[in-house]
Structure formats: C-alpha cells, structure tokens
Structure 1
Amino acid sequence: MGALLGVVPFLAYATVFLLIPTLVVIVGAFADGSGRPTLANLSALGQPQVVSALMHSVVLSAVTAVLGALIGALLAYAVSTAGPQSLLKRVVTAACGVLAQLGGVTLAFAFIATLGFSGFVTIWVQRFGVNLASTTWLYDWDKGLMLVYLYFQIPLMVIVFLPAVEGIRPQWREATETLGGGTWAYWRKVAGPILAPSFLGAVLLLFTNAFSAYATAAALVSQGSPILPLQIGGALSSEVILGQENVGKAMALAMVVVVAVVMSLYVVLDRRTSRWLSR
C-alpha cells in the first residue's frame, strides 16, 4: 500500500497534464463546433498546407535528430574518456544539462540578437565584406530553424547517450585485442552493435523532441506556418478564419499518433540496450 501511495502524485500529474489533454484532443478531433460527431476535421488534414507543414516538420525533426545524434555521440565519447571526477567532464555535462533545456523565446531571441539583421555577429562580419543581413535564412524552417534546433539537440544527445557509452566495459576491448582485433574490429563487431540500439533510440528521442517543439519556432518564424505546431497554433488562435479549433485538434491528434509510434520504437530499443548493458 505504501508503494502505491508513493506513485499517487505522479499519477495525478500524468492525468492532469497528459491524459486529460490527450482525451480533449481526441474528442475534439471527432466533433464539430456544436459537439456533434463528425469526420470533417480529419478530412482537413488532406489540405495542401497541412500536408506541407507535416512534411516540413518530419524533415526538420529527422535532419536535426540525425545531425544532433552524430555530433552529440562523438562529444559523449570524448567526454567518456575523461576521468569520472575530472573537471572537464563535470563542466561539459553541466553545460549540456542547461543547454538542453534552453529553448522557447529565450533561444530565439539569442539567435536573433546574434545572427539577425542587426545581430552582433552580423554587424561584426560586415567589416570583412560579409553581409549576413542580405537574406532571411535565419527565419527559414530549412535553414535557421535547423541551426537553432541543433543548439538544444546536441546537448540532449550527450546527456542521453553518455550513460550508454560509459556502460561499455574495458574488458571487451581487451578481449578483442587479445584475439588479434584492432580498433576498427572492436567498433565494428563489439562496441558498435552494442551501442546501436541506444544510438537509434536516442535518434528517435531527438526526433520527438524537435517534432513537438513550438515556442522557439513561433518566436523565430513570423511569416506563415511552415511546420505543423505553428499550423495548430494558427488554427487555435486565428482571428481571420474562425471555428478552426477542432481542426487544430485533428492536427494535434496526427502529431500524437506520430509521437506514439516513434516512442513505441524507442521503448523497444531501450529494452534491448538495457539487456546488453546489464550483462
């Protein structure tokens, strides 16, 4: 009984902030403005602007997830070679913990103040004949948003992947060398296959993290709604086209389905990784 009472706060939190909002989205996606059942909201998902926003969100999330995972994995391995109590390791992990949570309006403002039309770097490089203010690349979903998302994707990868890298036992490398294998053989036949499920799981986690991000894109992109979270925000708050709230919930339901599929794959890979590292 005591153990059950211990999880009551968590269950209450999950119910209020996860279960109830999900049920509201599901019910609203299949209801019209008067609350009557309808499939019209789901049919709106086939509109060109919604399909385009969904594809942009998937591409943005996939690219930043893969690039963030590759760079973060290399950084995690470099950090793992330092001593457990080394100053470098403590500084890097602490910095990654902070940067992984830095997002929203704060992050968007930081990039605008640095690389925007009147940003510090933009003005500084003009002395050397480089004009960064001649284009709007920072405010495009396929350039600026990717760069901004990588700012928090890479530190998150370090935090998620570092325990897996540190779980690799030195005895495995020693056994490989004893049997005549070199560094390439060790990574290809021993460490690589062991870390692969953890790496792929981290990629899926980063994909979900980018796919659901809203505040940073909303603060950075002021024209149009190139990604699905901005489309949902526009449907819920638009003063031009009224009565689109349930269409926004239908789009949110599509996001829930995508995230559910990705996280299910993540759970499977995480279980496989746990079996390897617990041996």
Structure 2
Amino acid sequence: MDSETFVHPTAFVEDGAQIGAGVQIGPFCSVGAQVVLGDGVELTNHVSVAGSTQIGAGTKVHAFAALGGPPQDLKHGGGPSRLIIGQNCIIRESVTMNSGTDYGRAETRVGDNCFFLACSHVGHDCIVGDNVTMTNGSMLGGHCEVGDHVIIGGLAAVHQFTRIGRRAFVGGMTGVTGDLIPFGMVTGNRARLRGFNIVGLKRAGVSRTELATLRAAYRMIFAHGSIIDNAQAAREAFAESPAVLEIADFLTSRGKRHFIVPGAGGSDDAADDERD
C-alpha cells in the first residue's frame, strides 16, 4: 500500500487485495482478497466489495453499497466471474452490482464517469457504457447492454437481455421490456417510444439540420411494414448521417428482445424541443 493510502482501523481488508496509491477505506468497509482498487478510490463507510472485482481510479463509493457479490441467478454454477467498474464513477448509497455468470459473459462491466444514484442496481452480465446515469431505485436485469450517455430515470426497470442505445433516455417508473434505439426517449408503465431525446441531443451539440434528418428517418423506420426493411431503406436514404446509420445498425443487429415502437399518437418530442 502507498504511504498516502488510509484504511480505517474498523475496516477489514483481506490478504491478497490490491490497493492503489491514495486509496481511502473508511469505517466498517469490507474488501475481499480478489479485489483490485485503483489509485484514489474512496470507500466512504460500510461498503462491501467482494469477489473478483476491479474498481477504476478515482471512483467514489458511498455507504452500504455492495459490489461484486455473486449473480442473483439460480443457473449460475459457482464458476469464476468478475465485476469491472471504470474510472471516476460515483456510486451512491446502497447501490448493488453483481458479477457475471459462468454460463453467460462471466463478467459484468461498467464504464468510466458513470453516476449511480441511491439504491440503483446493475445485474449480472450487464455491459454499461461511459457517462451513464442511473437514477434512484432504477435497475438493470441480467445481460443488459446500455450505451454511452444513457440516462435511466428513477424506479425504472429494464428487462433482462434488453439493449439501450447510445444517448437514449428512459423516463422514471418506466418498465423497459424491449430494445430502445439510440437517441430514443421512452416513458410509460410499459415503455412507449416518444421520439428522440431532444434535450440530450442538443446538449451533445447536434444541429437542427441533423435533428430534422433524424426525425425524417424516424418517420420512415416506424412507418407501416417491416422495421428491419425500413431501417435498411433509411440507411440508403440518409447515408451521410452517422446518427441514422447508428440507428439502422442497432435495428439490423437483432438482440433477444423486441423493439420498442411509438404508441398511438406518434412522437411528442417536438414539445420538448420547443421548451428547450
């Protein structure tokens, strides 16, 4: 351990744990023998880090978080699996993240600069991108894939094996049972696609011209007929738009879930556009 590292006398760090420079381990924390804590990681108090878990430099973990416990899956046979958390994440109170399963990826992976609010949960075998925000009480079932810059609202629940595309937005208390396109926005008891995450796209510097292109592609993709065929047509019609191509790639690389589509009444993202 580096001379600047601090371990509170009431904390328990098992032999074999790798502790980086400047790590702070507060009162009543527990760190397992296979844990790797990068430089500057802070465990405030009452944090449990178990199993084969790696936490990237600069990440701060708050009270009663439980990271790296075995997957909550009866099919897991007890074989080796791990949890990898990126750099500069903020993990708030009572957050839980499980390791992978021996029949799945054997790994749960979280990117850099993510923000997990109190009581949020990342299930086994999930892949979470960079700059993701999961709000209080939101949860990911096993095997989910979440793209960069996604925001998941409070108490939202994402079904196992679901994919959420980059810069998508999930409204609070929404049940997400299907794949959500990149830049999409869903709300409702069972998620309904309500157009694009306009506020997020504007914050990312997307121009009005590109927004108009995205909306035109959206109308084409979700018109009558096969979504896959429509996505291929949009790829050809808007071949110079990287964002449209990203959506088309997402739709044509089918996962295990259905696609979330607009409900009756169509898109209402224009209202958000006007308010912003």
**Does the pair score TM above 0.5?**
no
TM-score bracket for this pair, using the shorter chain length: under 0.3
Q: Which has the higher strand share?
A: 2
Q: Who wins on radius of gyration, i.e. which is larger? A: 1
Q: Which has the higher helix share?
A: 1
* Higher RCO, Cα 8 Å, sep 6+: 1
The TM-score with structure 2 as length reference comes to 0.19
**TM-score normalised by structure 1 residue count:** 0.19
